[in-house]
């Protein structure tokens, strides 16, 4: 059954079931724990990503990544991330950086482990793997998501140049370049969807036969964009938090953004979980 049939549920009934499961699965508390672990994994992930970017035959683009991240993150939170990452990269060099990248990958996978644990609860699965197999799965997912980020970043920063190069190589006109520039945005959105779906498919234990594009993943991506841009606009209009929290305001904003992002991810997973549970109930033979 297609997940877009909502398992035979109406939108109202699906919303009622998801709302009940949010409290039963303690999703709000788990999103808070997720933000804590992801905060520790954020900078190792960026360090690992900066090392991968250094392998590409392009000019340094980590600054461009931070620039685009600044369009989504609240200003102080983006400045905090940018300054901290610059200090980490500046303080590491040569062999230390290569060893640090391996350690960064290991630390980044800890954030993925926390996501796996939360999704196992949401999808009502019990992970029976040994700890090292869970760690390997987390490492694989971390590398996979980093590669998705690389593709998205290269398209975002160099999409126009790539379109011009393709047009010149095959003798195409300026129309192709314009169409390519427009088409790179759907590709970017597809990368985000694929990254979310990859987590939904592989992070919970077991084979679930889920579709790659689901209402839950659509909600997670849309919800993440709404809360990110909404938080940024809220901070821009009501910026008085600096008078209350001072210099720690950037840390608080970053933690709040991570919490809302994790909440969007888990609520999307709850939507898919309830849809598939309803589909299984509908497919049960009558007794």
In this predicted structure, what is the pLDDT of residue 37?
82
In this predicted structure, what is the pLDDT of residue 240?
59
In a domain, 121, yes or no: yes
In this predicted structure, what is the pLDDT of residue 192?
76
In a domain, 287, yes or no: no
In a domain, 98, yes or no: yes
In a domain, 179, yes or no: yes
Residue-by-residue pLDDT tens, the chain, 287 positions: 688 888 889 999 999 999 999 999 999 999 998 888 877 777 777 766 666 666 555 555 556 666 656 655 666 666 766 776 666 555 555 444 556 667 777 777 888 888 999 999 999 888 888 888 888 888 888 888 877 776 666 666 566 666 666 666 666 656 666 666 676 667 767 777 888 888 888 888 875 556 778 899 999 989 888 887 787 777 766 665 656 666 677 777 788 888 998 999 999 999 999 998 898 887 744 33
In this predicted structure, what is the pLDDT of residue 252?
79
Supply φ then ψ for residue 74, to 5 degrees: -60, 150
Give the total number of structural domains in the chain: 1
Q: Which pTM does this prediction carry?
A: 0.76
In this predicted structure, what is the pLDDT of residue 89?
58
In a domain, 214, yes or no: yes
CA distance 61 to 57: 11
* Residue with tokens 């300026």, as numbered in its chain: 174
CA distance 54 to 239: 36
In this predicted structure, what is the pLDDT of residue 196?
86
In a domain, 233, yes or no: yes
- Domain range spanning residue 182? 3-282
In this predicted structure, what is the pLDDT of residue 96?
46
In a domain, 78, yes or no: yes
DSSP 32-66: HHHHHHHHHHHHHHHHHHHHHHHTSSSS--HHHHH
In a domain, 169, yes or no: yes
């Amino acid at each position: 059954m297609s997940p877009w049939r909502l398992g035979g549920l109406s939108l109202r009934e699906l919303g009622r079931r998801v709302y009940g499961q949010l409290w039963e699965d303690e999703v709000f508390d788990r999103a808070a724990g997720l933000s804590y672990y992801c905060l520790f994994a954020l900078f190792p992930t960026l360090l690992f990503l900066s090392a991968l970017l250094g392998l590409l035959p392009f000019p340094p683009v980590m600054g461009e990544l931070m620039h685009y991240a600044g369009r989504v993150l609240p200003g102080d939170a983006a400045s905090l991330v940018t300054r901290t990452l610059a200090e980490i990269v500046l303080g590491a060099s040569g062999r230390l950086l290569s060893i640090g990248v391996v350690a960064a990958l290991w630390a980044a996978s800890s954030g993925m482990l926390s996501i796996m644990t939360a999704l196992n609860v949401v999808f009502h699965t019990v992970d029976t793997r040994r700890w090292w197999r869970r760690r390997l799965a987390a490492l694989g997912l971390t590398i996979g998501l980093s590669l998705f980020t690389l593709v998205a970043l290269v398209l975002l920063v160099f999409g126009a140049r790539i379109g011009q190069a393709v047009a010149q190589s095959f003798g195409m006109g300026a129309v192709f370049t314009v169409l390519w520039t427009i088409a790179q945005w759907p590709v970017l959105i597809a990368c985000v969807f694929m990254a979310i779906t990859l987590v939904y498919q592989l992070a919970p234990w077991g084979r679930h036969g889920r579709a790659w594009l689901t209402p839950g993943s659509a909600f997670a991506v849309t919800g993440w964009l709404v809360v990110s841009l909404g938080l940024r606009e809220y901070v821009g209009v009501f910026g008085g938090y600096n008078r209350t929290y001072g210099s720690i305001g950037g840390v608080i904003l970053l933690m709040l953004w991570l919490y809302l992002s994790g909440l969007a991810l888990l609520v999307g997973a709850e939507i898919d979980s309830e849809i598939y549970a309803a589909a299984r109930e509908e497919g049960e033979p009558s007794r």
